[in-house]
Amino acid sequence: MFLLMGHSGGGANGTGTGGGGGMTARDARGGPSGPGEPSGPGGTSGRSKGLKVAGLALACALLFGVAAAGWAYWHLNGNIQSVDINGALGDDRPARPVAVPSASPDAAPEPTGALNILVLGSDSRGGEENQELGGGDSEGARSDTAMVVHLDAGRTAATVVSIPRDTLVARPSCPLPSGAESREASGAMFNSAYALGGPVCAVKTVESVTGVRMDHYVEIDFSGFAKLVDALGGVTVTTDVDIDDDKSHLHLDAGTHHLDGTEALGLARTRYGLQGGSDLARIELQHKLVKALLEQISATDLLTDPPRLYQVADAVTGSLTTDTGLDSLGELMSLGRSLGNLSADDVRTVTMPVVPAPWDANRVVAEEPDAGDLWESLRR
C-alpha cells in the first residue's frame, strides 16, 4: 500500500533509456530493466493485484453492510403483528373528518392531517417474559390501559385522553374471532370489550363511547414496554406519594426516581399501592410516565447511535400489534417522522371526565356534558 501511495513514475515505457544508461526510479526499486523481463512485487501486476484485493474487500464490506441492513429491516418488519380492523368493522363507524380544501390550487397542503389512534396496553399476555412481569394467560387478556391519542393537523400538538378501565359503558355488538357476533351489553366494564372480542371490539367500543373515528390501533405488551424503557436508558419520574404495592412489585418513596423498565412497568400498573386503590390516581401516574418517555426520547439522539436505535426499534416492534395501516416498518417510520417537531410540552394529557356510578361506588360513568365536549373537540 505504501508503494502504491508513494509511487512516482520514471521513463515513458519504464525501461532504462536515456544517456549514460542511467536507471529509472523503477530500476532503483528493483523493477524490470527491460521490456521482456517479468514484473517484480512493486511492478504493474503487483499494483493491479493489490487494487483488485482492496476492491474485493470493499465490495465484500459493502455487501455485508447491505445484507445486515436488509436483515435488520426484515427482522423488524417481521416483528409487527396486525389486525384488519377496517375489514372487520366495515362502514358501521363514525365518519372521518372532511378535509378542508386549500385556499388555492397552488397553496401548499398541510404537512400532515389530524389522526386519532387508540393505544392499548394489555394486562395479560402469553409468553414467559410477560408472565414474569405480571401477565397471565392470553385467554384472560384485558385492556389494562386505554388512551386515545389525538394528533392535530400539522402534528404540532397532541392530546392524550385516558379512559378509566372501570368505566361502565354500553358495549356494542362486536364481530368475534369465531365469526359470530356478540350481544350488546349495557353497564359493561369498558375493558371487557378487549377480553371479549380483542382489538376489533375494543376499537368499536371506543368509537361507540366517543363518537370519534379511530384511524389507527396500537397495542403494546408488558415485556415490550419494559424493554423499550431499558433501551432508552430508563426514565425519570417524580411521585408525590409513597408507593408500596406488592402486586405490581413497586416500592418507592415520594420523590424523584430514575426507573428501569421493570420499575416503569410497575409504575404504569400500580393501583393498590395508591390511596384508595384508585384507577384515576393510577392514570395520573401513567400521564407522568408518558411525559417522561417523551422527554427521554427527545434527550436520546438515536440517529447518531445506530446500535441503540436498533435496540429501541426491536423493543417496540417486537411487542406491537397494530391495524393493517401501520403494520410495516415503513409506515411506522413515516408516522414517526411526521412527529419530529412534537415535544413533550406540546402533548396535553387528560382523563375522560367521570363520576362514580350511582349504583356501584367502585365503578365510574362518563360525566356529561363534559365528556361529550371533550370528544367533540377531537372530531374537529
* Predicted local distance difference test score (pLDDT) of residue 275: 64
Smallest CA-to-CA distance from 200 within 175, 230, 163 is with 175
Smallest CA-to-CA distance from 238 within 266, 214, 267 is with 267
* Predicted local distance difference test score (pLDDT) of residue 63: 54
- The pTM of the full predicted model, rounded to 2 decimals, is 0.76
Report percent pLDDT > 70 for the chain.
69
Q: Which of 16-30, 242-256, 306-320, 347-361 has the lowest mean pLDDT?
A: 16-30
- Give the pLDDT mean for 220-240: 89
CB of 267 closer than 8 Å to CB of 302: no
pLDDT band at 150 (very low <50, low <70, confident <90, very high): very high
Residue-level length of the chain: 380
What's the pLDDT tens digit per position in 156-176? 899 999 999 899 999 999 998
Is pLDDT above 80 for 286?
A: yes
* Predicted local distance difference test score (pLDDT) of residue 15: 42
Give the integer Cα–Cα distance in Å for 264 and 234.
Answer: 8
Best mean pLDDT range from 61-70, 72-81, 221-230, 366-375: 366-375
pLDDT band at 57 (very low <50, low <70, confident <90, very high): low
Other beta carbons within 10 Å of 58? 10
* Predicted local distance difference test score (pLDDT) of residue 103: 47
Please list, in sequence order, all residues whose beta carbon lies within 8 angstroms of the beta carbon of residue 38, skipping any fewer than 6 positions away: 32
CB of 107 closer than 8 Å to CB of 205: no
Is pLDDT above 60 for 308?
A: yes
Start-end of H helices in the chain: 2-6, 25-28, 44-79, 85-89, 128-132, 192-210, 222-231, 261-269, 279-299, 306-317, 329-338, 370-378
Is pLDDT above 50 for 250?
A: yes
Smallest CA-to-CA distance from 181 within 167, 205, 201 is with 201
Give the integer Cα–Cα distance in Å for 121 and 192.
Answer: 13
Is pLDDT above 60 for 38?
A: no
Give the integer Cα–Cα distance in Å for 226 and 266.
Answer: 9
